[in-house]
Amino acid sequence: MFGKRTVPPDPASATMPWSPRLPESVPPEARAPEGRPAKPTHKAAKGAAGAPTKGSELDQRLQAVKIAVFNDLIDSVDLTELGKLDIAAVREEISDIVSEIISMRSMVLSAVEQSLVINDICNDVLGLGPLEPLLARDDIADIMVNGADEVYIETNGRIERTDIRFRDNAQLMNICQRIVSAVGRRVDEASPICDARLADGSRVNVIAPPLAIDGPALTIRKFKRDKLTLDKLVGFGTISPKGARLLQVIGAARLNVIVSGGTGSGKTTLLNCLTSYIDKGERVITCEDAAELQLQQPHVVRLETRPPNLEGVGAVTMRDLVRNCLRMRPERIIVGEVRGAEAFDLLQAMNTGHDGSMGTVHANNPRECISRIENMIAMGGYTLPAKTVREQMAASIQIIIQAARLRDGSRKITHITEVVGMEGEVVTLQDLYVFQLEGEDGQGRIQGRHVPTGLRPKFWDRAKYFGLERDLAEALDEAP
Ligand SMILES: Nc1ncnc2c1ncn2[C@@H]1O[C@H](COP(=O)(O)OP(=O)(O)O)[C@@H](O)[C@H]1O
Ligand SMILES: [Mg+2]
């Protein structure tokens, strides 16, 4: 990411620093220091893409200082070496060097101006320019950049547009490049799609022109350090206390679970919560595209897929991981996102002694989840009769937990559904818990209740075997 040789920082982006106007909601500590040059208007930025924007005397003087300091900096520091330090240390180091350069060149700057210059240079050299203040905020779940002029964020389930802009698409592209070079990738016209990860674990997707028509689209799913717990989900109304109890039983009784839901519906969060009910003594292996799960167990092996390198070779797929995982004597296998042929391997694992395995699938309801998995297996090149595949699913998957992000931005578990078996050619499902929609309150927030359906789970005896019969009975008790 900091590599001088892989992707040299674009001096142009240091010469014309961005100056975001932050929305009112930005906490003071994330704001730029007072005296930051005013952001050019939307029109001006568009009209003069790439050309210096006219500013006050001070702006131009500071910009000149920045250019000079930046050039000195590149000459004097090996950014690759710096990249080995952690980000705070790098910032400190750069600040020191920049202060030194400023005093060596006998530049006259006030303390405020100096910190302004240092900040901007740090952001341009090391950081992600205009995105830095957003990355510093803990309340943001996603950052979505649609070309240089549009930056959206998601907080508390709501998407809003920010006033932050990039100087132009070239600066944005440069930042995208810097992000993906950290995982040894390149993004350009020839390979315009790329997944990467920030140093803090945040997941990044870049899709560049010509595929993205209005400029590079950058999407960042921010990594949350303090993961949500089931208790917190209850607090948010994502699930009722009794529903949460049912989830605990499901996790502890080693049922095979698929968490189903749309993008951002809270699948990974839920999966992570469920893993906290895994017995401490179990050997758990996780397979993910980009490690997000934070298991609290002592005995966990974390595996991660790898995209192909620049020559298009060396990819390690999810399927490779799941298959390898079976040779590692796992007791449970957890697949972050089941998307393709690995579905078949996971089902087999679930069915051959690795009970309590889990995964997430992108689907809008439990029934669709089943057909999605069937499709993944069919597309994976298995020429099995549909009925065989369905039997395999019915025998392997015991629970589907459906997560959803409702139109008010709240996340709910809408179904806890049991896979019961087969009826003819069809996989039969029964809902154990559902979210009943009751309407909206004055603020447009969705109202409803989680209710048990009154059906007796097929896994009752299993829960009993694990000493969880009472918990199960209480979880399913219809009295609120
Ligand atoms: N029940 C919830 N209530 C509020 N926020 C949630 C909830 N579940 C997840 N989130 C937040 O929503 C974002 C997306 O969650 P994630 O679990 O990664 O979704 P998915 O895996 O379905 O894409 C994260 O920032 C997460 O912290
Ligand atoms: Mg996820």
CA distances from 322 to 313, 314, 340, 345, 388 (A): 19, 17, 11, 7, 21
Range with the largest mean pLDDT of 198-207, 222-231, 344-353, 420-429: 420-429
With 70 as the cut, is the pLDDT of residue 13 above it? no
Q: Is residue 363 part of a domain?
A: yes
* Residue 434 Cβ < 6 Å to ligand 1: no
Question: What is the structure's pLDDT at 48?
Answer: 29
- pLDDT score of 478 more than 60: yes
Sign of the Cα torsion 118, 121, 125, 129 reads positive
Nearest Cα to 361, choosing from 220, 257, 433, 273?
257
Residue 367 within any structural domain of the chain: yes
Q: Looking at the CA of 220, which ligand is closest?
A: 1
Q: Please report the pLDDT score of residue 69 as a whole number.
A: 77
Residue 124 banded pLDDT, cuts 50, 70, 90: low
Lowest mean pLDDT among 4-13, 55-64, 180-189: 4-13
Query: What is the average per-residue pLDDT within 142-168?
Result: 91
Confidence band of 84 (pLDDT split at 50, 70, 90): low
Per-residue confidence (pLDDT) for residue 80, from 0 to 100: 54
Q: What is the pLDDT of residues 171-182, one digit of tens each?
A: 898 889 888 887
**Over 90: is that where the pLDDT of 258 sits?**
yes
**Percent of residues in the chain assigned helix, strand, coil, to nearest 5:** 35, 20, 40
264 and 207 within one domain: no
Choose between 115 and 386: higher pLDDT: 386
Angle between helices 111-125 and 57-76 (to 10 degrees): 50
CA dihedral 33, 38, 44, 46 (to 10 degrees): 10
Domain presence at residue 4: no
Of all atoms in ligand 1, which is nearest to the CA of residue 142?
A: 25
Q: Is the CB of 263 under 6 A from ligand 1?
A: yes
| Confidence at residue 113, expressed as pLDDT on a 0 to 100 scale | 85
- Taking CA atoms only, the protein residue closest to ligand 1 atom 4 is 411
* DSSP H helical ranges for 326-385: 342-351, 366-379
> How far is Cα 92 from Cα 57, in angstroms, rounded to an integer?
29
Nearest CA to ligand 1 atom 23: 264
Report the pLDDT value the prediction gives residue 323, as an integer from 0 to 100.
Answer: 94
In tens, the pLDDT along 21-50 reads 333 333 333 333 333 333 333 333 332 233
Task: State whether the beta carbon of 233 lies less than 6 angstroms from ligand 1.
Answer: yes
* Position with higher pLDDT, 149 vs 48: 149
Q: Which of 103-107, 119-123, 244-248, 413-417 has the lowest mean pLDDT?
A: 119-123
Q: Is 218 left (phi over 0), alpha (psi -120 to 50) or beta?
A: beta
Cα 269 to averaged position of ligand 1 atoms, centre (Å):
6
| Residue 3, in any domain of the structure | no
- Ligand 1 probe mutation, 411, 412, 413, 414, most atoms within 8 A of CB: 411
Q: In which domain, by residue range, is 110 found? A: 11-221
| Tokens read off for 477 | 């008790």
Q: When comparing pLDDT for 69 and 326, which is higher?
A: 326
The last residue of one of the domains, among 221, 243, 261, is: 221
- Among candidate residues 76, 81, 72, 73, the one with its CA nearest the CA of residue 3: 81
- Do 281 and 155 share a domain, yes or no? no
CA 337 to ligand 1 centroid distance, Å? 14
For residues 130, 264, 196, 368, the Cα torsion angle rounded to the nearest 10 degrees is -150
CA of 322 to the centre of ligand 2 (A): 17
* Angle between helices 366-379 and 386-396 in degrees, nearest 10: 130
Question: How many domains does one find in the chain?
Answer: 2
Atom 10 (ligand 1) nearest CA: 266
Q: What is the pLDDT of residue 44?
A: 31
**Does the beta carbon of 264 lie inside 6 Å of ligand 1?**
yes
Work out the mean pLDDT of the chain and round it to a whole number. 83
Assess whether pLDDT exceeds 70 at residue 185: yes
Same domain, 279 and 301: yes
What is the pLDDT confidence band of residue 87, given thresholds at 50, 70 and 90? Answer: low
Backbone φ, ψ for residue 465 (5° rounding): -60, -35
Mark whether 192 and 322 lie in a shared domain.
no
Ligand located closest to 408 CA: 1
Are residues 467 and 418 both part of a single domain?
yes
How many angstroms does the Cα of residue 431 sit away from the middle of ligand 1? 23
What is the domain-level CATH number for residue 262?
3.40.50.300
Helix axes 342-351, 366-379, angle to 10 degrees: 110
Q: Report pLDDT for 50.
A: 31
Q: If pLDDT is split at 50, 70 and 90, which confidence band does 195 have?
A: confident
- Whether residue 209 sits in one domain with residue 242: no
What is the domain-level CATH number for residue 82? Answer: 3.30.450.380
Cis peptide, bond prior to residue 210, ω within 30 of zero: yes
For ligand 1, atom 11: residue with the closest CA: 266
Query: What's the confidence (pLDDT) of residue 310?
Result: 67
Cα-Cα-Cα-Cα dihedral sign, residues 270, 283, 337, 351: negative
| pLDDT, average across residues 459-480 | 92
Tokens of 361: 């699938």
Ligand 1 atom with the shortest distance to the CA of 222: 25
Ligand 2 centroid to Cα of residue 317, in Å, is 17
The better pLDDT of the pair 39, 201 is held by 201
Residue that terminates a domain, selected from 175, 201, 221: 221
The ligand placed nearest to the CA atom of residue 271 is 1
Per-residue pLDDT band at 66 (split at 50, 70, 90) = confident
Q: Are residues 62 and 178 in the same domain?
A: yes
CA of 24 to the centre of ligand 2 (A): 30
pTM, entire model: 0.70
Q: What was the pLDDT predicted at 23? A: 34
- With respect to residue 5, please indicate whether it lies within any of the assigned structural domains: no
Give the contacts of 425 (CB within 8 A, at least 6 positions apart).
386, 387, 390
Same domain, 199 and 297: no
Segment (H or E) for 283: none
Whether 2 is in a domain gets the answer no
Q: Give distance in angstroms: CA of 265 to centre of ligand 2.
A: 8
Query: How many angstroms separate the Cα of 239 from the Cα of each of 120, 232, 380, 385, 391?
Result: 44, 10, 35, 38, 30
Using CB atoms within 10 A of its CB, is residue 477 exposed (0-12), middle (13-18) or buried (19+)? exposed
DSSP 67-88: HHHHHHHHHH--HHHHTTS-HH
Q: Are residues 438 and 319 in the same domain?
A: yes
Ranking 36-40, 71-75, 274-278, 310-314 by mean pLDDT, the lowest is 36-40
Residue nearest to atom 2 of ligand 1 (CA): 411
Question: What's the distance, Cα to Cα, between the start and end of the chain in Å?
Answer: 53
* 163 is a domain residue: yes
